[in-house]
Amino acid sequence: MKVRGLREEAADILAVELCRADGTALPFTWGAGAHVDLQLGNGLVRQYSLTNLAEDAALHVAIKREADSRGGSRWLHEQLRIGSRVQVGVPRNLFPLQDGDDEVWLVAAGIGITPLLAMYRHCLRRGRPVCLLYFARSEAHLAFAATFAGDARASLICGLPADEVSGRLRAELPTWRPGLQLYTCGPAVFMEQVMAQAAAAGWPDEARHQEHFQAPANPAEVQGGFELVLARSGQRVTVQAGESLVAAAARVGVGIPTSCGMGMCGCCVTRVLSGTPEHRDQYLSDAEQASGEWLMPCVSGCQGARLELDC
Ligand code: FES
């Protein structure tokens, strides 16, 4: 696709509009909450939520420049220009808005506004009741402020000290009643507070939904001691404790392509031929994990003594 628009949406946040390079209509559709993979010119793959709806003839994403960027957001902020070509994956939705007319509560912090903005737009367009709580570090960090200007359904909360966030959530979230659904996205610690306060206000598990932008801070290590069989190459290797399947395969000369290395991007997805995976990724859906057919070898392990992969 081609970059058709670039805008500094807020401090450290770049809004990007992408259209097909040949100007034709998009060959796919998507629902609110979906994301796309962007293949960067430096070989990395990164995921970004779509902020617009499929009715539009372009893809809109917003990219936060991370202070500790490993080359993803920094590359995009520094290299993208109007007219730049970018390889874009088909939209995928791991954070869908539930169907129906239930009232939707959206609770965002920082760049977590991006999938929730699409949900907000979806609700407005469908006439579905919606309330948005959007926490930003400062007014300068508030993205898409013009979209919410003068809208009583959106509460924009800027510069609140971290130790006051829980109290504010407690004050804002209503006691749950049938017909309310909550979606939250933001830093992990923020989402934990949202989920806890919602639970305290009676929101059941099935009414609370969250999207992770970051891998868990301290993922459990892979238990070693099992045999990894690499069917295509005929190689076998014993996986060490704490060693990834990707690293174990590399020891016997088998390369598995990776990008994020955190179980989030899907780059390393590999078919399982036999054995039971121990999934640790956030990429495969629950159903895909349960099928046992695929695993993400950058983070996942094995529940038994032997795992055979199609690589
Ligand atoms: S490299 Fe991204 S999921 Fe494995």
CB of 269 within 6 A of ligand 1: the answer is: no
Per-residue pLDDT of the chain (311 residues; tens, 9 = 90+): 999 999 999 999 999 999 998 989 999 999 999 999 888 877 777 889 999 999 888 999 999 998 776 678 888 999 999 999 999 988 988 889 998 999 999 999 999 999 999 999 999 999 999 999 999 999 999 999 999 999 999 999 999 999 999 999 999 999 999 999 999 999 989 999 999 999 999 999 999 999 876 655 555 677 889 999 999 999 999 999 989 999 999 999 999 988 778 887 777 899 999 999 999 988 887 788 999 999 999 999 999 999 999 99
CA 270 to ligand 1 centroid distance, Å? 10
Structure tokens at 172: 């804002």
CA 115 to ligand 1 centroid distance, Å? 21
CB atoms within 10 A of CB 268: 24
CA distance 130 to 151: 11
The confidence score (pLDDT) of residue 220 equals 67
CA 85 to ligand 1 centroid distance, Å? 23
Question: How far apart are the two ends of the chain, measured CA to CA in Å?
Answer: 30
The confidence score (pLDDT) of residue 74 equals 87
Check: pTM over 0.85? Answer yes or no: no
CA distance 157 to 135: 5
CB atoms within 10 A of CB 36: 21
Alpha-carbon distances of 23 from 6, 20, 84, rounded to whole Å: 17, 5, 14
Q: Long-range contacts: 66-71, Cβ < 8 Å, 24+?
A: 70/44, 71/40, 71/42, 71/44
Structure tokens at 108: 């965002």
Report which of 38, 39, 36 is spatially closest to residue 51, judged by C-alpha positions: 36
Alpha-carbon distances of 171 from 149, 151, 301, rounded to whole Å: 22, 20, 42
CB atoms within 10 A of CB 231: 13
- Ligand 1, pocket-test mutation among 296, 300, 309, most atoms within 8 A of CB: 296
In this chain, the answer to whether the domains covering 2-88 and 103-211 adopt an identical fold is no
Which residue intervals of 173-278 are DSSP H helices? 188-200, 245-251
CATH number of the structural domain 103-211: 3.40.50.80
Q: Long-range contacts: 52-55, Cβ < 8 Å, 24+?
A: 52/118, 52/121, 53/118, 53/121, 53/122, 53/125, 54/26, 54/29, 54/30, 55/125
Architecture in CATH of 2-88: Beta Barrel (2.40)
**Residues linked to residue 180 through DSSP beta bridges, in sequence order:** 103
CB of 97 within 6 A of ligand 1: the answer is: no
Domain residue spans of the chain:
2-88, 103-211, 227-309
The confidence score (pLDDT) of residue 218 equals 54
For domain 227-309, the CATH superfamily is: Beta-grasp domain (3.10.20.30)
- Ligand 1, pocket-test mutation among 264, 282, 294, 311, most atoms within 8 A of CB: 264
CA distance 23 to 98: 32
The confidence score (pLDDT) of residue 217 equals 53
